[in-house]
Amino acid sequence: MRNKIKKVLVLGLILSVSSLALYGQDLPITTGRFKPADSSFKQYQYPAWFRDAKFGIWAHWGPQAVPRQGDWYARNIYVEGSDQYKYHVAHYGHPSQFGYKDIIPLWKAQKWEPEKLMELYKKAGAKYFVSMGTHHDNFFLWNSSLHRWNAVQMGPHKDVVGLWQKAAKKNGLRFGVSEHLGASYTWYQPAHGSDTAGPFKGIPYDGNDPRYADLYHPKADADDRGWLSKNPQWQHEWYKSIKELVDNYHPDLLYSDSGFPFGDVGRAMVANFYNDNIAFNNGQMTAVYNCKQPSGGMWVQDLERGVQDSISPYPWQTDTSIGDWFYKTGQTYKSATDIIQMLVDIVSKNGNLLINIVQTPEGDLEPDMLKTLDEIGKWTAANGEGIYGSRPWKIFGERPPSATEVKAGNFNEGRIKYTAEDIRFTCNGKKLYAFLLDKPTGDIRIKSLGNSSSINIQKILSVKLLGSKEKIQWQQEADALLIKKPVDLPDWKVLSFRIELGD
């Protein structure tokens, strides 16, 4: 019996070693303290730079900007009857003859000046910058040895990620990359179809041509239609691509456009990212991983075009765009006030704002975009002390009784309307910052700071309006801190009061 047990243990050890060898071969992980397991990720500590930064700018940019028709162009030209399909057929030809592979060479980025743009973003108040690494179109913006469809070999013939990174470092901004590759395998499946009616009925789109399978991916199994593929081979291919991106560029931030991706394959990716970051930074961890799933303290949860409804116990991030995700002719953009209101609301709830600034296909910015960045920069220059390096206060703020209740989640930003009765708080030591999210029409009453309030028990020593030299008239009443409406208000709508608290 003892010998039998011994044989079983030996066999188990051999199988374990074989499994580890296969695992190590398929999913090599940079050596370090993080293992591909949730229990290991529990040791993650949020880096101070991210908690202090609060505001980042994103270049959600690539060859899909070329037609000037907005997001998801590479997919929708294969969706018969869609607006982008109709546009593509009218301007380029039928996707059986002229598909997305033929759009890619048209992206030249001839007006792109990354250092000049980064200077603008720094002046606007951004503390970190995120470059797209690859969108769902499976076109890599970095110098890849794994994939011929990349910006060094095609299109602009430039290492877009590398040049963005160089510009960010020169301007003192932290650098991140976003990967949308995980969804590309199922996202691209319409390219394997054909028209169901009309003169091209039944003629296969160019996604069926095996010469371009490395761009459009092979055809998926009939039951593989989720946002993230179930195909293990594709999951491992994704891993190798993201590992190449991380190992070659060593970003401070890595964003996945999905929930936590691919189970254990995703765990290996995050462990590799964390360990690579520590090794590259000589033992100091600066890594931030974003995905669209509650973090439990193991990464930074991202909400797409949405915000939290309360103070999160863990740092989080909103990602949104000033307009459509890719350039679109005639699109409407968020105003500087819209962006500042979002920023303040998010920061008061322990979050960061990452916003996409829409670039033309050529790589420059339109005049209205430059104007908005300038207005944001003037506001952050005067009011940034209440944003950067701040932390949430005891409550995130006050809301008017008539305000619509909006639950935390993705895609809720359009349902939120801010008024002068919306007040948000941040703090830094004994300095409390109260932000009015619109200009007041009369005197200002902050109920949380009244003498009888149970929220604040500290004495108020002084009140100052940031961006103004006017002496503020105020008094603490039983039910509120009363601030007389200043005579000369700053040009911007979102006002910031610095309130000194004493014992």
| pLDDT, tens only, 53-69 | 999 999 999 999 999 99
Judged by DSSP in three states, 502 sits in strand
Rounded CA-CA distance 354/34 in Å is 27
Q: Averaged over 41-62, what is the pLDDT?
A: 98
Q: Which CATH architecture has domain 34-304?
A: Alpha-Beta Barrel (3.20)
Q: Averaged over 432-456, what is the pLDDT?
A: 95
The size of the chain, in residues, is: 503
Give the H/E segment covering residue 384. Answer: none
pLDDT at residue 362 in the model: 98
DSSP state of 337: H
DSSP state of 493: S
Comparing CA positions, the residue from 14, 458, 34 lying closest to residue 246 is: 34
pLDDT at residue 12 in the model: 37
Residue 1 pLDDT class (50, 70, 90 cuts): very low
pLDDT at residue 461 in the model: 96
How far, in whole angstroms, is CA 101 from its chain's centroid? 27
Rounded CA-CA distance 182/32 in Å is 25
pLDDT at residue 503 in the model: 81
Q: Across the chain, what does the average pLDDT equal?
A: 94
Residue 359 pLDDT class (50, 70, 90 cuts): very high
Which are the contacts of 134, defined by CB distance < 8 A and separation ≥ 6? Answer: 140, 141, 179, 180, 181, 184, 241
Which are the contacts of 50, defined by CB distance < 8 A and separation ≥ 6? Answer: 128, 174, 252, 253, 288, 300, 315, 352
How far is CA 82 from each of CA 17, 73, 89, rounded to the nearest angstrom? 52, 10, 11
3-state SS track over 203-242: CECHHHCHHHHHHHCCCCCCCCCCCCCCCHHHHHHHHHHH
Share of the chain above pLDDT 70, in %: 95
Judged by DSSP in three states, 372 sits in helix
Rounded CA-CA distance 74/84 in Å is 9
pLDDT at residue 14 in the model: 34
User: Does pLDDT of 467 surpass 80?
Assistant: yes
E strands along 297-422, which residues?
300-304, 316-321, 351-356, 397-398
Comparing CA positions, the residue from 97, 96, 105 lying closest to residue 192 is: 96
pLDDT at residue 100 in the model: 98
Q: Does the domain spanning 397-502 belong to CATH 3.30.930.10?
A: no
Q: Averaged over 1-5, what is the pLDDT?
A: 40
Rounded CA-CA distance 168/165 in Å is 5
Residue that wins the pLDDT comparison between 5 and 278 = 278
pLDDT at residue 295 in the model: 98
pLDDT at residue 406 in the model: 86
Rounded CA-CA distance 166/413 in Å is 33
